[in-house]
Each structure stands twice: as C-alpha cells, then as structure tokens.
Amino acid sequence: MMGLPSFRFSEIRRKVVVDVDDQEIGEPVDLGFDFLLEPKILVIGGGFIEELLEEMKLRDNIDEYVYFDMIDYIDDAIYLNIREEEINRTDNPHLVDNGLLLFTDLTNTPIVDAEGMPMGVVKDVIIEGNQTYFIFSDPEFNQTMHKKGFGQKFEFKLHKSKFTYSHGLLAVSLTVKERDEKTFAQVVSKSRGKQLISLD
C-alpha cells in the first residue's frame, strides 16, 4: 500500500472507480481484510440499481475486487492502474473461504475488551499508508455520557494491532476502564455532534 493516500472508508463509498483507460467500473461497496486485519482488497459494486437487482435475485451476484496495489491514486474518483478485464471477480459474497473478512461483516461483530466486557461495534476504518485504524462506538458509553451532560456522540479510534479477530468476536487489548480514562483526558463539552477519541 505504499503511496496510497489516506482515506476513511465512509468518505470514499460514493466515489466512482475508474480503470486505466478512464472507463467507469462501479463504486466501492466493501473492503476485505486478512485474519490479522490487514486490509487487502477493495470490493467494487455496480451502483445502486445493480446491487438492488442482485439483492432481489434478478441477476447473478458477482462482485469485482482489486488489491490495493492495483489502485493508482484516490482523488475525485478512485483511479486504478489496470484495465477492467484484469479485475478479479467472485460469486462468494463473504470471501471467508478466500481467507478474507469483509468490513461489512466486521461491523456486525461484537467488540470485547481485554476482560471480555462489551465495548461496542466497528463503524468505520481509516487507512493511512501502511497503517490501519478502526473507528468504533459504544452505545452504552454514549448513554452514560449523555446522562452526565455531554451532548455529543463519542467514537473511538484504535490501531488494528490492538484488535484480534477470533470465533466471531473482535477483542481489543485494553479494558473498558482504560478506554474511559483515555476518553476523560480528551473530552470536551459539546451540545451536539461527534467527538473522535484516540485510544492509541
């Protein structure tokens, strides 16, 4: 992933993917990670209508994907350094058999702390060159903070090296208490909006 610009997945999901001949391929719909949570692929869908037809079983569900070294750069669009016919294709919607975890599956995976306590769910991912950070939130924590008079919603940023995926759970190598201590060291009073707390 050398040279790949920083991006937050939620911010590129509406960008068009363009091949080396400037042909529009589709839009990013997912990311694939290996079981060490290293990002490996960008999954490309054909846009809203195509995805809807696939969901309604009116056309085959064939997804296209590219490895990150096939991405030239990201700007107003996502520019590939390959032609459309070189793009990988799969009819395996989850890719687990390929040794990959999809981001959409990770967002449905409970996070537990180092002591097995619930800590929320993944909401987003930030890729900065060869560094990856997951963004997650904890509804119970937000409810507690709201009762304390904080109006904003809190999200947490944590490096992928602090996560371990196993048996349908994402475990982090810090405790709820440690998370709370780091949060109160950074918290500011807001009546609305969001605040991103770095836990690294």
Asked if 24 and 98 sit in the same domain, the reply is yes
pLDDT at residue number 2: 46
Asked if 131 and 87 sit in the same domain, the reply is no
Last residue of a domain, one of 85, 102, 119: 102
Asked if 138 and 86 sit in the same domain, the reply is no
State the residue for tokens 């405790």.
175
pLDDT at residue number 49: 44
Owning domain of residue 38: 7-102
Total domain count, the chain: 2
Looking at the domain assignment, is residue 2 inside a domain? Answer: no
Instruction: List 134's β-bridge partners, or say none.
Output: 125, 158
Whether the Cβ atoms of residue 174 and residue 199 lie closer than 8 Å to each other: yes
Read off the pLDDT of residues 145-176 as tens digits, 9 standing for 90 and up.
999 999 999 999 999 999 999 888 999 999 99
| Residue 88, both tokens | 């990988």
Looking at the domain assignment, is residue 1 inside a domain? Answer: no
Cα 72–Cα 77–Cα 83 angle in degrees, nearest 5: 50
Residue 153's CATH number: 2.30.30
Read off the pLDDT of residues 80-122 as tens digits, 9 standing for 90 and up.
999 999 998 877 656 656 788 999 999 999 999 999 999 999 9
pLDDT at residue number 132: 95
Asked if 165 and 178 sit in the same domain, the reply is yes
Last residue of a domain, one of 81, 102, 123: 102
Residue 47's CATH number: 2.30.30.240
With bands split at pLDDT 50, 70 and 90, how would you rate the model's confidence at 138? very high
173 to 57, 58, 157, 198: CA distances (angstroms): 41, 44, 13, 14
pTM of this structure: 0.87
* Backbone phi and psi for residue 173, each to the nearest 5 degrees, phi listed first: -90, 35
Looking at the domain assignment, is residue 61 inside a domain? Answer: yes
Structural element, H or E, at residue 121: strand 121-128
pLDDT at residue number 1: 42
Average pLDDT over residues 179-195: 94
Last residue of a domain, one of 50, 81, 102: 102
Read off the pLDDT of residues 22-77 as tens digits, 9 standing for 90 and up.
999 999 999 999 999 999 999 998 754 455 545 555 445 567 899 999 999 999 99
